[in-house]
Structures are given as structure tokens and as C-alpha cells.
Amino acid sequence: MVPFLRILGIETSCDETAAAVVERDAEGHSRILSDVVLSQLDEHSAYGGVVPEIAARAHVEALDELIEQALARANVSLGDVDAIAATSGPGLIGGLLVGLMTGKAIARAAGKPLYAVNHLEGHALTARLTDGLTFPYLMLLVSGGHTQLILVRDVGQYERWGTTIDDALGEAFDKTAKLLGLPYPGGPAVERMARDGNPDRFAFPRPLVGEARLDFSFSGLKTAVRQAAQEIAPLSDQDVADICASFQKAISRTLKDRIGRGLQRFKTEFPVAGEKPALVVAGGVAANLELRGTLQALCDKNGFRFIAPPLSLCTDNAVMIAWAGLERMATGAAPDALDVQPRSRWPLDSKAETLIGFGKRGAKA
Ligand code: KG4
Ligand code: ZN
């Protein structure tokens, strides 16, 4: 028997304002009672990226209403929730302040405990809600702000096995799209163009492939794309399609090598018989079908289960924040004091060193 827990989650670390209610009953069955997300995409797309000040203001305008909606859709009142979980980092500080202060105010007014949640922990634990995964497992987080391979040992126990030494993968897609004249966000646009392109026309670099360390690097790839584009300018639609297809192929091959090594390491460190080990993917780039296919094939080859939660739970949302709060509360962890501060940088693995150039765009996920 586990305690029945119902949590209100709040997420404001980047450009999605979100609130959700999640519960787990005494038999261990979990349910998403509501999941409300307001994307600010339209407000940022004209600038080709997220503008922190605009994001913070948009969170202020939307959050109260979204929380009310989340409670109403869940058919509960504040009195019916056991705790409030709010993202307190990493991310854009203005947005974090809005969400965390709101969480504190509600916790204080309703007399409920507050859990200040690490956004990355939300991503890391989502697969336990969606797929009932048991520890340990590997997680690949590929978003606009992060590219990390993380060993998830237990609630609160994370080891970063690999990270990017320069651009995040989503960032590489966005920058490549921009220099090819494609709209923001770049990932979906590049994927769409790549469908009609020749992946073998350009031999783009596959950074760090073959190296024993499990890190990633994508800035050289972006530079190679720029050079190729300049050499054949002006670009026809077919040229753009060929560049996109070749770019995606280089990334696929890079992931195959890097993640393949990660799976091998996992099997060496956790040689368990019985249930198959699992690789979980999260973050906006997980929407990319070619990359998903690559990871699925890699997992099949190595005897791993490939777990990709529904896209709405892979990208930023408050369900994962409520769930991470629930998991922490269920371990008996004490809630946070109401003077807890937001942290724009907050690595999941506090022992992992910061790599040169890592997180240039801020530490958002
Ligand atoms: O996790 P996410 O929604 O937001 C944060 O970064 O916080 O990820 C957004 C990133 C963007 O860089 C976007 O270009 C990328 O995910 N993305 C994709 C695709 N859809 C979104 N990248 C590659 N292929 C896609 N289909
Ligand atoms: Zn995220």
C-alpha cells in the first residue's frame, strides 16, 4: 500500500505556461486528472526564438487562469490536493519567479506543502507515470536547451553520462532552419523538408563519433551546413531539402554512435537478467520521426525497450512537475521551505562538471 496522493503542478520555466493535477491511489494506479498547457509560440516566433521578458509577462497574464482551469477540469478544489509542485529551475529566471511565487502563495494560503521541482527531474520521471517504469533506466533528453543522457537510478538520484559541449540538439535544428530561411521552431520545418531530400548529397561531420566519452557536439555541424549553403547559393527548394536530409542523417548517425555506447555501458553496469532495460526519450526533438526510428532500431539491436511518452508529455508540461512532486512526497521527503529560491541553472547531477560552452542559451530544457 502506498499513500493516496493528489498534486497540483505548475510549469513556467520557458515558453509554455502549464498547470495540471495528477494523483496516485493506494494501489499505485496513477491518473492525470487535468493537463492544461498554453504555448507562447506565436508571441516568440517573430523573433526567431524565446524572448525571456516576453515569456515572463505572458506567464504572469496566463497562470492564474490556467491553474483555475486545471482544478476545474480535474473537478477538485485546492482543499482536495495534498501538495503544490512548482518548477523552480533550471530555466529562464523571470518565468521561474512567476511560477514559484504563485506556487508559494497558493501553498501558504491553502496551508499545503510546497515542492520546488527541478524541471529536468520532471522529464526524467515522466516514463514512470506513463509506462510504470522501474529504476534504473537511461533517459535521453533532447530539447531546445538540453541534450543529456542521464542514468535515472531512483527518485533524486541522477547521473549525467553525457551532455553537449556546445549547442543543444534542438538549438542545432533551429539555427540550421534559420540559416536556410525556414520558419521557427526549426525542427519540424527541417524534418518536413528532409522528406524530399537526398541524405547522401552532403557529407556533414559526425562530431565525437567513435570517442569513448558519451558527450555530444553540434556546433560544427551547423557551421558545415552554413558553408555548404554558401557554396551553392542561391538555394533551390531541392538544395534546401538535400541539406536538411543530409543534416538529419548526420545527426542520426551521431546519435546511433553516442547512444549505442550508452546502452553498452548500461548493460555492463547493470547486468540484470529478466526484464529488458529501457531507454526513455524526452524533449521536443523526440517528435522527429527519423530520430525516433534510429533510436528504436538501436534499442531493438541492443535488447532495450524504447520508451517515448506521448509527445504532449515529452515537451514541457505541468503533469511531469506534479508527478515529480508526487514521487518526492511519496518517498517521505520533506517539502521545501517557503523561502526556496528559483535557480536558472540547476543540474540534475550535482557532481557532474559544467562543460565548456554548455548551456549558452541558458539552462532551460
Ligand atoms: O522540449 P521543447 O518543446 O521545448 C524546450 O526546448 O523547452 O523543445 C523544443 C525544441 C526546438 O528546438 C524544436 O526545434 C525542436 O524541439 N523540435 C524538433 C522537432 N519538433 C520540435 N526537432 C526536430 N524534429 C522535430 N520534428
Ligand atoms: Zn523541458
Which has more confidence, 315 or 340? 340
* Ligand 1 near 187 CB (within 6 A): yes
How far, in Å, CA of 20 to CA of 8, rounded?
Answer: 6
Percent residues over pLDDT 90 in the chain: 86
Q: What is the mean pLDDT of the chain?
A: 94
Residues 4-126+313-330, CATH architecture: 2-Layer Sandwich (3.30)
How many angstroms separate the Cα of 207 from the Cα of each of 165, 250, 263? 11, 9, 19
Tens digits of residue pLDDT in 2-49: 789 999 999 999 989 999 999 999 999 999 999 999 998 888 888 878
Q: Which of 38, 173, 222 to mutate to test the pocket of ligand 1 (most atoms within 8 A of CB)?
A: 173
Question: What DSSP string describes 181-201?
Answer: TPPSSHHHHHHHHHTTS-TTS
Per DSSP, 284 falls in state: G
* Ligand 1 near 14 CB (within 6 A): yes
* Ligand 1 near 141 CB (within 6 A): no
Burial of 353 (0-12, 13-18, 19+ CB in 10 A): exposed
| Topology annotation, domain 133-311 | Nucleotidyltransferase; domain 5 (3.30.420)
Query: Does 83 score more than 90 pLDDT?
Result: yes
pLDDT at 362: 41
Helices (H), the chain: 41-45, 52-74, 93-110, 119-131, 169-179, 186-194, 219-232, 237-269, 289-302, 311-314, 319-330
Burial track 119-137 (b if 16+ CB lie within 10 A, e otherwise): bbbbbbbbbbbbeebeebb
pLDDT at 45: 83
Q: Which of 41, 143, 169, 179 to mutate to test the pocket of ligand 1 (most atoms within 8 A of CB)?
A: 143
Specify the length of the chain in residues: 365
Please give the helix or strand (H or E) that residue 11 lies within, else none. strand 5-11
| 133-311 has the same fold as 4-126+313-330 | yes
pLDDT band of residue 352 (cuts 50, 70, 90) is confident
Q: What number is the average pLDDT over the span 73-98?
A: 97
Any idea where the domains of the chain sit in the sequence?
4-126+313-330, 133-311
Per DSSP, 337 falls in state: P
Centroid of ligand 2 to alpha carbon of 26 (angstroms): 29
How far, in Å, CA of 150 to CA of 344, rounded?
Answer: 20
* Ligand 1 near 191 CB (within 6 A): yes
Tens digits of residue pLDDT in 232-290: 999 999 999 999 999 999 999 999 999 999 999 999 999 977 789 999 999 999 999 99
Coil vs helix vs strand at 315: coil
